[in-house]
Amino acid sequence: MSNCIAQELLQAGKTVLYQTAPVLLESVIDYKMSQQKNKKDNIYHSVLNVDLLIIDDLGTESLNSMKLSELFTILNTRILNLNHKVTKTIISTNLDINNIFSTYEERIGSRIAGYYDIYHFFGEDLRFKSRE
């Protein structure tokens, strides 16, 4: 579903960044910790300003305080348009809302619960089906 939405927006001339939560958070932290930040390849700027950010597999990353802080900043900046630009975010996860609150701090859980429409998808995993 996320890929279809991304494709439609790309065809409409919008910018899209699709990344798994573990890679996204590691990339942002690596960039921020780097002594030689390359302005041409600023992943942090892209994450905050891309028209559509798709965070895939939230809940599969190993957590620490730095990752929690970065996740909060990303979500909060995009939700409140602190980047002075209307941006949208799609989050896919296997966690239910209770697990989100128990896995992440309350301020992250409350933003996800309060600002995102939550859809539950049921059915067979298409990855298994393609092997048949």
- The 10s digit of each residue's pLDDT in 9-52 is 999 999 999 999 999 999 999 998 886 666 656 889 999 999 99
- The 10s digit of each residue's pLDDT in 96-132 is 999 999 999 999 999 999 999 999 988 777 667 766 5
Classify residue 131: in a domain, yes or no: no
* Global confidence as pTM: 0.89
The CATH number given to whatever domain includes residue 74 is 3.40.50.300
Classify residue 89: in a domain, yes or no: yes
Q: Which class for 114: exposed (0-12), middle (13-18), buried (19 or more C-beta within 10 A)?
A: exposed
Classify residue 24: in a domain, yes or no: yes
User: What token pair was written down for 127?
Assistant: 């990855």
Domain count, the chain: 1
Classify residue 53: in a domain, yes or no: yes
Residue 116 is part of which domain span?
A: 2-33+42-120
State how far the Cα of 29 lies from the Cα of 32, in Å rounded to an integer: 5
Classify residue 129: in a domain, yes or no: no
